[in-house]
Amino acid sequence: MAVLERTYKQYEGRLSTEWSRFLIIPRHAYRDVFRSKLFTAFFALSFLCPLIFAILIYLHYNASALGLMRLNVRELLPIDASFFEAYVVIQGVTGFFLTMLAGPQQVSRDLTNNALPLYLCRPFSRSEYVVGKMSIVIILLSAITWAPGLLLFLFQGYLEGWSWSAENIWMASAIFLGSLVWILVLALMSQTISAWVKWRVAARAALLGVFFVSSVFAGVVNQLFATRWANIISLYNLIANVWAGLFGLFVRRTSEIQEFRQGRVIREVVMSEPPLWASWFALFLICAFCLWLLSRKVKAYEVVK
């Protein structure tokens, strides 16, 4: 290493490929993310669910184990679409908490320390920056959601017979697509909140609020106006509908309210869930809104007009 030369000289070696440069951001970010013991412990714990699901699949095909437990696991917990949907839901929620720990500080730290000009004065665009920051969450959550999910699917296919895999390949795509949609929504939302809320604790609270408060708010609106359409403002309902739709389990529930006065029915209200396309559309709108907010904030310098 020529540290003693101490002269200025140009670099004339080979350069890395341009398309892969966004991956530099997550590679360096993980060094900081995994420095947190809380995060590392939580990340390790999030592999518990795939492990339990793998054990359940194993028990299905292990006659001696079934005999020992004297339980009919095959009937108690059939391995079908709802089994894998449950897996996606549990890991999706786990991924949300993981995002809460790793996501909110990523952009805000750069904005607080005026680091954006340093990124953008290089051959590195704003979109590469956003994709790079999002990929911190995308890679982490992929490791705990669809990647082990597909392994579970392969495991089940191996034990049941490959013909089962061929017949149910749509379940594999549902695991992948369902997880990916959720990961993208989380990555975009966490980066947007991070760009607009510079204080990390407040950013985490905001992310939590978007998830839980929206559900509570939707419930209140549904009650007040005797409708179910407010579910499209509940993030949990939206993604739950999308997951159910992908696994072929979506049912557009309808309920009825009857208003009585002096023993007579004076009003009947039929309430039905928004259709599946409304959930997809609402998620698309949320993502578009997040991208718009990010594009307003991720700039080398803000111009005060």
Identify which of residues 109 and 297 has a Cβ nearer to other proteins in the complex.
109
Nearest partner of 253 among 224, 220, 235, 229, judged by Cα: 229
Identify which of residues 52 and 300 has a Cβ nearer to other proteins in the complex.
300
How far is Cα 172 from Cα 98, in angstroms, rounded to an integer? 23
Q: Could you write out the DSSP letters of every residue in 136-187?
A: HHHHHHHHHTHHHHHHHHHHHHHHH-HHHHHHTHHHHHHHHHHHHHHHHHHH
Identify which of residues 13 and 67 has a Cβ nearer to other proteins in the complex.
13
Identify which of residues 110 and 273 has a Cβ nearer to other proteins in the complex.
110
Q: In angstroms, what CA-CA distances link 218 with 31, 169, 228, 230, 234?
A: 39, 35, 8, 5, 6
| Minimum gap (Å) between residue 117 Cβ and other proteins | 5
Identify which of residues 96 and 119 has a Cβ nearer to other proteins in the complex.
119
> Would you tell me which residues interact with other proteins (CB under 8 A)?
1-16, 18, 21, 24, 28, 31-32, 109-110, 112-115, 117-125, 299-301, 303, 305
| Minimum gap (Å) between residue 107 Cβ and other proteins | 12
| Minimum gap (Å) between residue 183 Cβ and other proteins | 24
In contact, 210 and 189? CB cutoff 8 Å: yes
| Minimum gap (Å) between residue 193 Cβ and other proteins | 19
| Minimum gap (Å) between residue 22 Cβ and other proteins | 10
Residue 266 tokens, joined: 């004076």
